[in-house]
Amino acid sequence: MSKLSAEFFGTFWLVLGGCGSAVLAAAFPGVGIGLMGVSLAFGLTVLTMAYAVGGISGGHFNPAVSIGLATAGRFSWSQVPSYIIAQVAGAIGGALVLYLIVTGKADYAGVGGFASNGYGDLSPGKFSMMSALITEVVMTAFFLIIILGVTGKKAPAGFAPIAIGLALTLIHLISIPVTNTSVNPARSIAVALFAGGGAISQLWLFIVAPIVGAVIGALIQQSLLSDE
């Protein structure tokens, strides 16, 4: 239960902090944090919670990461379903709190995109479905390569959360214009439930692509980069 609680609250914080920064602060008049600020916010959510609860659950906060770690033999397949349930529940909880905050605005007129992911007309830069698919697969693959590398036996101890948080920041700096950055099915599911419409119809890509990317990244790391 402590492991699942850690995954719940870690993913809760990722969605509330990352998506919250995008919805509430990215374009705030005069002091908006923009793309760079949102990217950093996502990285900081993972960095802070990895230090806070990573020692309890491993600090996955992402179904694709759990599947990737299991593919690499670093995590038990038997625990993957319960981790995913906790992560999706935590993400929805974070999105719900964000929704309650947003609806309290004086001129509230709907949640809009609600930091949801998309391609085509729903892509921030109007990138195609193929561009979105390539982006999500490649970014998640490298995310897993980094995670597996910095948590290996020969990696410097105590620095993994920093490297992983900065990796997620970099991923967002690259891919927000393309898909609004997922690399995390739980994050995508949670906000799409509140955004509705096209975000729901395009959600399949942001579930499938990160999982495929995670498996590819795990296989690359294990076959070509592992020193264990």
pLDDT tens-place string over residues 186-217: 999 999 999 999 999 999 999 999 999 999 99
| Residue 175, CA distances (Å) to 15, 122, 151, 205 in order | 17, 14, 24, 15
Give phi and psi for 144, each to the nearest 5. -70, -40
Domains annotated on the chain, with CATH: 2-225 (1.20.1080.10)
**pLDDT band at residue 152, thresholds of 50, 70 and 90?**
confident
Neighbours of 25 (CB within 10 A): 15
Distance CA 89, CA 9 (A): 9
Say if residue 228's pLDDT is above 70.
no
- Asked if 124 and 176 touch (Cβ cutoff 8 Å), the reply is yes
Average pLDDT score, the chain: 95
Distance CA 89, CA 86 (A): 5
- Asked if 15 and 7 touch (Cβ cutoff 8 Å), the reply is no
Distance CA 185, CA 207 (A): 5
For residue 127, what are the contacts with CB-CB under 8 A and spacing of at least 6? Answer: 119, 120, 135, 177, 178, 179
- Asked if 103 and 112 touch (Cβ cutoff 8 Å), the reply is no
> Side-chain half-sphere of 96: how many Cα atoms within 13 Å?
8
Q: What is the pLDDT of residues 153-180, one digit of tens each?
A: 888 888 999 999 999 999 999 999 999 9
pTM score: 0.95
Burial 156-170, CB ≥16 within 10 A → b, else e:
eeeebbebbbbbbbb
Instruction: Specify the residue for token string 């119809």.
Output: 201
| Mean pLDDT, rounded, for 60-75 | 96
**pLDDT band at residue 75, thresholds of 50, 70 and 90?**
very high
- Point out the least confidently predicted range of 45-59, 97-111, 125-139, 174-188: 97-111
Secondary structure of residue 156 in the 3-state scheme: coil
